[in-house]
Amino acid sequence: MYKVKVYVTLRESVLDPQGKAVTNSLNALNYNEVTDVRIGKYMELKIEKSDRDIHEVINEVCSKLLANPVIEDYRYEVEECVAQ
Amino acid sequence: MYKVKVYVTLRESVLDPQGKAVTNSLNALNYNEVTDVRIGKYMELKIEKSDRDIHEVINEVCSKLLANPVIEDYRYEVEECVAQ
């Protein structure tokens, strides 16, 4: 069993209106030291061992369903763990 | 200037219907090795140095605006970086 942590972020060149709204809210709450917020997704997957390569599976899953490769980048970390 | 990475996840005891939907979609696409998905948020903040302690600022910001402490946990990493 693998525990996979996937981080999906908007590409640098893509505007992030949600992050901008959060920045403005924080400034309105007097946290003026916060100058920029960018919002992404964080996902934890549990994947069972199979005959396919784990990295191949993760890359397919990320590019097909979890991230939109046109506007988003993703990276991931794999931890091997004992099934419970 | 600090670059802060914030990870917000649902507490273990809270059901995650969005993650369940993603698990089902992946299984329907024949990724049967994926047994569980939990979805959280990932945020990158840029925070300028001020006279307040950076950890105090981050904890306030997270518990007031970025995470809902009733159902979510958060953790963060701070990187110090040179302003551009």
| pLDDT of A82 over the 80 cut | no
Could you tell me the CATH number of the domain that includes residue B49?
A: 3.30.1280.10
Tokens at A9, concatenated: 């972020």
**Structural element, H or E, at residue A14:** none
- Which of A53, A41, A3, A39 has the alpha carbon at shortest distance from B40? A41
Say what the ipTM of the complex is. 0.84
pLDDT digits (tens, 9 = 90+) for A62-73: 999 999 999 999
Q: How many angstroms away from the CA of B13 is the closest CA of chain A?
A: 15
Q: What is the domain range of residue B17?
A: 2-80
Tell me what pLDDT residue B81 has. Answer: 85
Tell me what pLDDT residue A83 has. Answer: 57
Measured between alpha carbons, how far is A40 from A43 in angstroms, rounded to an integer? 10
- Which of A65, A71, A78 has the alpha carbon at shortest distance from A9? A71
Considering only CB atoms, which chain A residues are within 8 Å of B38?
43-44
pLDDT digits (tens, 9 = 90+) for A18-49: 999 999 999 999 999 999 999 999 999 999 99
Asked if the Cβ–Cβ distance from B60 to A34 is below 8 Å, we say: no
Number of domain units in chain B: 1
Considering only CB atoms, which chain B residues are within 8 Å of A25?
65
Tokens at A35, concatenated: 């100058």
